[in-house]
Amino acid sequence: SRGAFFMNSEVHFTAKVQKVDAIDTTAAGDVFNGALAVCLAQNMTWKESIEFANKAAALSVTKMGAQTSAPYLNEII
């Protein structure tokens, strides 16, 4: 509920989190990690990537199931 804290040798921050009514947390971590990997592969900053991943994971917990809860890109942006 307080966001995601990140720290490396160059920067540290807490990335914002979107508040939602969670229905099922199955696969939220998988969605977060997948979204984070996509963003980093596209050379987005750590902060942009983690905020995007937070939003993707937040959306995923508003639906039941694992694969069926993963949001499409147009739902996140």
Do 55 and 77 touch, CB atoms closer than 8 A?
Answer: no
Q: Which of 4, 13, 24, 30 is catalytic?
A: 30
Concerning whether 21 is annotated as a catalytic residue, the answer is: no
Rounded CA gap, 39 and 36, in Å?
A: 5
As a whole number of angstroms, the distance between CA 76 and CA 44 comes to 15
Catalytic residues: 30
